[in-house]
Structure 1
Amino acid sequence: MDTTQKLLNLIDADHDTAVGRLVDWLRIPSVSANPAHAADCVRAAEWVRDQLVGLGFEASLRQTPKHPVVVAHHPGPGNGAPHLLYYGHYDVQPADPLELWTSPPFEPVLVDGPHGKRLVARGAVDDKGQTLMWIEALRAWRQVAGGPPCAITAVIEGEEEIGSPNLAAFLADNKAELAADVAVISDTGMWDVETPALSTRLRGMCYVQLDLQAANRDLHSGMYGGSALNPLNLITRILGELHDAQGRIQLPGFYEGVAETSAEQRAAWQKLGFSEHDFLGGIGLSVPVGERDRGPLERLWARPTADINGIWGGYQGPGSKTVIPAEAHAKVSFRLVPGQDHAAVFEAFKAFVRARLPADAKATFQVFSSSPGIEVPGESRFIRAAQAALAEEYGRPAAMIGCGGSIPVVSDLKSILGLDTVLMGFGLEDDQVHSPNEKFDMRCFHGGTRSHARLLAKLAGG
């Protein structure tokens, strides 16, 4: 029996125990955005550090201004095989609104789904479950061969869900230590439960908070209505002008640098057989939005967006209170594509708002995260190894897809460490990432673990 088959047999036999380890990690409420969970973030980091130490790694927690980064190293066999840098994150999104969960978000439960068992918990797929896949593959390699067949560095951070504000500086400060040949990340998805995928493009992000202030106090709407400026009326009017009737975004210069999608790329995406009707139907919608002259996958993967993520101000309690609020607030995100300057987009948004402000209104702006859109090489020896590993595991070629989300570390790994990234993810579109009842199909967890073990075998063999 060859080494790969021994690895796969071991992963199969150890599956239930691996799920148990994932459950233990998911019980730690490592919500990076909430200061009340700072100690939980440390516990989650310690948990994964200890797992890697148990696999023969030299691993430690490295402090940042907020949450620690786990860094681990294994020298491998020293036979000239490539050096891989695996990245993951142990932090999770807040679980709100809690009342919409069918079970407590940090008490993981296995439930039946259309593809077998699925694990429901915050962080199940984003990203504890997907990170643990490659750790479990490394566990199998240790038991079968005494250790991984390549040199391995692991970087597992705790601030991805808040935009990785300290990661770029950490990478720059530790550039020599983190040198490798390629990065491997599992934080993306499959095309469907039967079809693996490699992501070759990611949208970037500019996430902004807008705060408007008018009067120096809240006002009685009967005494002042019709005379005093209402900042809630103003903010909704301004943000309502972000898009024109054709779905194009109206910030000045917003589309500068956005490349047209090639006919060849559109044809390749067309062959994937994507049904926007089914895609929207699964979330209770039927009518697509966005730029009307663009195809669905082009809008999702290759075109920028603008969305209001939250808006608030004035009275929000039970019953009524006739008030004109002094302030209004909104959070707005722009998903960006390669070629756009995220700093320029922020400046354009400020100019867009200020051009619409009356004399008595004051606007202030905050940026919470920003990163460029990126395109990773779709052809390299590392991509070929991943394609071969996935084809062997799933019996069909991997779809080469885009991803509408943002993974800021991919651009940082390229710009700071000079590393391209293999984006080999195993999530599904119905995983409810960032939503109540987030889940990870155990079929995907298992297939992902096996695929990572195969990838190491392919890379070790040249």
Structure 2
Amino acid sequence: MTIQAALSEADKGLDASLNRLFDLLRIPSISTQADHAPDCRKAAEWLVETLKTIGFNASTRETPGHPMVVAHAKGPAGAPHVLFYGHYDVQPVDPLNLWHSAPFEPVLVKGPTGEQEITARGAADDKGQVMTFVEACRALKQADGTLPLTVTMLIEGEEESGGANLLPFLEANRDELKADVALICDTNMLGRGLPAITTMLRGMVGEEVTITAASRDLHSGMYGNAARNPIQVLCDILSDLRDGATGRVTLPGFYEGVPVIPEETRAMWRKIGPSDADSLGPVGLHLPAGEAGYTALEQTWSRPSCEINGISGGYEEKGFKTVLPSKAMAKVSFRLVGDQDPDKIRAAFRAHVQARLPADCSVEFEEHGGSRASIVAGDMPFLPPALKALAAEWQQEAAVIGCGGSIPVVTEIQHALGMNSLLIGFGLDDDRIHSPNEKYDLSCFHKGIRSWVRVLYALTGQAPE
């Protein structure tokens, strides 16, 4: 058999592949909400049964949280062994009123660009991406009765809720999960029709801070001016996190370990990447708001950040209430690059807050994960054939890019299994992941399946056709 035979199977089976994806998308596997725990288990069990239909030895594995899915299929003797990672859990759907269709009733609609779009929660993050790989394996098995290499799959159910059980699971099952390279499909292309492999990911630190002043909410006429307002205290503290003139983060030692971007790299990014207007225009903006002297792309791919992700306190319902609140809360995240240390960043943030806290206020912190940045070396042997395979499918040179997001599993796989990862995704910047009306282009799903067929062949040393 040839690559073309498997590609033909992928094309003939597209409608059936889409139906299977829709079945998975209908399961509301929201890992952060306890009442959806049965749905998370249902999604895991659905994947196990689906993988069994294409010859995988698949099972659910219990954890203190949601179950893992582990599956194995052997390839020819001496062929490489790959570990594919994805996740079946999804983000919550609020605000529900902004969805154009029910989040867990997938629909195929014509988008603004004229492309057919799969709309549903999880369409792009990560169920659609996972199913590109699953359906590629199906096409390969249908064409040749076997896979060109040995495949292990690990599909977790807690990526969107912190993934606390992933690293312990990797460490406890190191011998079973160890492979030559990990394949992760949770990233984007450079642009529509422009394939890419992500080699740089930012790390992350998440912190929730709650400041308490009075012992109860107060009448702002009776106590205003005299009583401390924790919202004002919190706003003052948060505003001090950035230098207003330069956009730089003010935490002491924050930039330790941040690498300097070589000028030749910046020149290459300017050539292949979007302009500031193209990066920000689709969301109604046009000026980069971070560090002065860096483009929007540079700020997200290679510079660290500090963002306020949520803030609340006092009366937040409709109408007006003259209350002086007892508490105020904010959620703050830091994206890390290079060798920045998540523990040091967290400690610096907490010290920043405590140093500015008035004597009659108290503070509580809640940790929401932390991970280092990761970089794939340019001389990693599986990178060149994967780039060539993508170029053959898309008829466009595949780019090596960075990503502003954080995928902790990359560093966890490196730590626990001693393996490098190839991050090959088919998402687009306009997929609205984590937002209402999340979508995944049908062409990305279709060509994603075809791309994985080519990549799996290419990793065995066979030239792309």
TM-score (norm 2): 0.97
Alpha-carbon distance in structure 2 between the residues aligned to 1:444 and 1:266: 28
**Corresponding pairs, count:** 460
1:431 maps to amino acid: D
Aligned to 1:156: 155
1:74 CA drift (Å): 1.2
Aligned to 1:209: 208
Aligned to 1:411: 411
1:295 CA drift (Å): 2.5
Q: Secondary structure at the match of 1:437?
A: coil
Whether 1:125 aligns to 2:124 is yes
Q: Secondary structure at the match of 1:280?
A: helix
Aligned to 2:435: 435
Describe how 1:56-95 pairs up with structure 2 within 5 A. Answer: 56-77=55-76, 79-95=77-93
1:232 CA drift (Å): 0.7
Any conservation in 2 of the 1:163–1:408 contact (CA below 8 Å)?
no
> Cα RMSD over matched residues?
1.0
Aligned to 2:333: 333
Alpha-carbon distance in structure 2 between the residues aligned to 1:293 and 1:279: 16
Q: What does the per-residue CA deviation read over 1:323-362, in whole Å, with 9 as the maximum and x for residues that have no partner?
A: 1111111111111112100011000000100110110011
Q: Secondary structure at the match of 1:191?
A: coil
Aligned to 1:293: 293
Q: Secondary structure at the match of 1:330?
A: strand
1:183 CA drift (Å): 0.3
Identity %: 52
- Report which stretch shifted further, 413-422 or 108-117: 108-117
Describe how 1:370-389 pairs up with structure 2 within 5 A. Answer: 370-389=370-389
Alpha-carbon distance in structure 1 between the residues aligned to 2:338 and 2:171: 23
Aligned to 1:27: 26
Structure 1 stretches of 5 or more lacking a match?
Answer: none
Aligned to 2:314: 314
- Report which stretch shifted further, 419-428 or 275-284: 275-284
Structure 2 stretches of 5 or more lacking a match?
Answer: none
1:49 CA drift (Å): 1.0
1:6 CA drift (Å): 0.6
Alpha-carbon distance in structure 2 between the residues aligned to 1:102 and 1:275: 30
Q: Secondary structure at the match of 2:300?
A: helix
Whether 1:395 aligns to 2:395 is yes
1:115 CA drift (Å): 4.6
Aligned to 2:281: 281
Alpha-carbon distance in structure 1 between the residues aligned to 2:148 and 2:273: 38
Alpha-carbon distance in structure 2 between the residues aligned to 1:273 and 1:30: 35
Alpha-carbon distance in structure 2 between the residues aligned to 1:73 and 1:104: 35
Alpha-carbon distance in structure 2 between the residues aligned to 1:4 and 1:257: 44
1:193 CA drift (Å): 1.4
Aligned to 1:222: 221
- Report which stretch shifted further, 431-440 or 378-387: 378-387
Alpha-carbon distance in structure 2 between the residues aligned to 1:49 and 1:251: 46
1:197 maps to amino acid: A
Aligned to 2:14: 15
Spell out structure 1 runs of 4+ moving beyond 3 A.
none
Any conservation in 2 of the 1:119–1:440 contact (CA below 8 Å)?
yes
Alpha-carbon distance in structure 2 between the residues aligned to 1:276 and 1:447: 28
1:379 CA drift (Å): 2.9
TM-score (norm 1): 0.98
Any conservation in 1 of the 2:337–2:373 contact (CA below 8 Å)?
yes
- Report which stretch shifted further, 222-231 or 276-285: 276-285
Aligned to 2:3: 4
Alpha-carbon distance in structure 2 between the residues aligned to 1:103 and 1:384: 41
1:273 CA drift (Å): 4.2
Q: What does the per-residue CA deviation read over 1:287-325, in whole Å, with 9 as the maximum and x for residues that have no partner?
A: 220001222222111101111111111111222211111
2:458 maps to amino acid: K
Any conservation in 2 of the 1:208–1:333 contact (CA below 8 Å)?
yes
1:56 maps to amino acid: G
- Report which stretch shifted further, 21-30 or 52-61: 52-61
Alpha-carbon distance in structure 2 between the residues aligned to 1:316 and 1:195: 44
1:255 maps to amino acid: Y
Of 101, 104, 120, the match for 2:102: 104
